[in-house]
Structure 1
Amino acid sequence: MRDLNDARAVVVYHPEKLHGPRWQRILTREEQRTDRAPSLWIPTQADEDPATLRNRLREAGALDADVLIAAGGDGTVRLTAEVAMLTGQSIGLWPVGSTNLFARNLELPALDPAAGLRAALGRTERLVDTMAVTAVLEDGTRVRRTSLVLAGFGVDAQMVVHTSDEAKAQFGWLAYVDGVRRGISRPDRFDVTYSLDGSTPQDARLLTLAVGNGGLLPAGLVLLPDARIDDGALDVLLLRPDGVRGWGDMASWFLKENGVVRRLMRRAGNRRPLRTGPSVQLFDAREVRLRLRHPEDFQLDGEYIGRAVALRAVVQHGTLRVRVPEPSR
Structure 2
Amino acid sequence: MKIAQLLHNPGAGDEEHSKKDLMALIQSEGFACRYASTKKNEWKEIKTDVDFLVVAGGDGTVRKVAKHLLDRKLIEKPFPIALLPHGTANNIAGSLGIPTDDPRPIVQNWHSGRRKRFDVGLVEGLRHRQFFLEGAGYGIFPELMKEMKDHQEKSTDAPEEKLKIALDVLAGILQTYEPRPCRIDVDGVDYSGEYMLVEVMNIRCIGPNLVLAPTADPADGQMEVVLVAEQQRHGLLTYIQNRLNGQAGGFWGTVLKGQTIRMRWDGPEMHLDDQFIQSKKPKDLRITIHEGALSFLEGPK
TM-score class, shorter = 0.7 to 0.9
Which secondary structure state, in structure 1, belongs to the residue aligned with residue 230 of structure 2? coil
Question: Is 1:210 paired with 2:184?
Answer: no
CA distance in 2, matches of 1:228, 1:18: 25
Q: Cα distance, 1:11 vs. partner?
A: 1.9
CA distance in 1, matches of 2:133, 2:94: 11
CA distance in 2, matches of 1:169, 1:104: 23
Q: Cα distance, 1:133 vs. partner?
A: 2.4
CA distance in 2, matches of 1:320, 1:182: 36
**Alignment counterpart, residue 50 of structure 2, candidates 65, 76, 82:** 65
Question: Is 1:229 paired with 2:218?
Answer: yes
Match of 1:127 in 2: 117
CA distance in 2, matches of 1:293, 1:162: 20
Match of 1:260 in 2: 248
Change (3 A) 1:17 1:261: closer
Question: Is 1:299 paired with 2:271?
Answer: yes
Match of 1:269 in 2: none
CA distance in 1, matches of 2:239, 2:167: 18
Change (3 A) 1:250 1:24: closer
Deviations 1:122-156 (A, max 9, x none): 623222222122352xxxxx143321112211233
Which secondary structure state, in structure 2, belongs to the residue aligned with residue 64 of structure 1? coil
Q: Cα distance, 1:175 vs. partner?
A: 2.9
Scaled by the length of structure 1, what TM-score is found? 0.74
Change (3 A) 1:18 1:238: closer
Letter in 2 for 1:315: I
Structural RMSD (CA): 3.3
CA distance in 2, matches of 1:298, 1:34: 43
Tell me if structure 2 keeps the 8 A contact 1:211–1:237: yes
Letter in 2 for 1:323: L
Letter in 2 for 1:144: R
What runs of 5+ residues in structure 2 fail to find an aligned partner?
A: none
Question: Is 1:106 paired with 2:96?
Answer: yes
Change (3 A) 1:20 1:176: closer
Match of 2:178 in 1: 188
Tell me if structure 2 keeps the 8 A contact 1:110–1:116: no
Deviations 1:225-254 (A, max 9, x none): 232222211000111115xxx544665687
Tell me if structure 2 keeps the 8 A contact 1:98–1:169: no
Match of 1:267 in 2: none
Scaled by the length of structure 2, what TM-score is found? 0.80
Letter in 2 for 1:206: Y
Deviations 1:67-104 (A, max 9, x none): 12222332211121233444411011121211212112
Letter in 1 for 2:169: G
Deviations 1:241-300 (A, max 9, x none): 15xxx54466568789996375xxxxxxxxxxx6x7xxx4321100111112332x3122
CA distance in 2, matches of 1:105, 1:168: 27
Match of 1:170 in 2: 157
Q: Cα distance, 1:111 vs. partner?
A: 4.0
Letter in 1 for 2:298: V
Match of 1:268 in 2: none
Letter in 2 for 1:36: F
CA distance in 2, matches of 1:291, 1:116: 41
Letter in 2 for 1:108: I
CA distance in 2, matches of 1:156, 1:63: 39
**Alignment counterpart, residue 257 of structure 2, candidates 271, 275, 284:** 284
Change (3 A) 1:104 1:194: same
Q: Which moved more, 1:168-177 or 1:62-71?
A: 168-177
Matches within 5 A, 1:73-88: 73-85=58-70, 86=72, 87-88=77-78
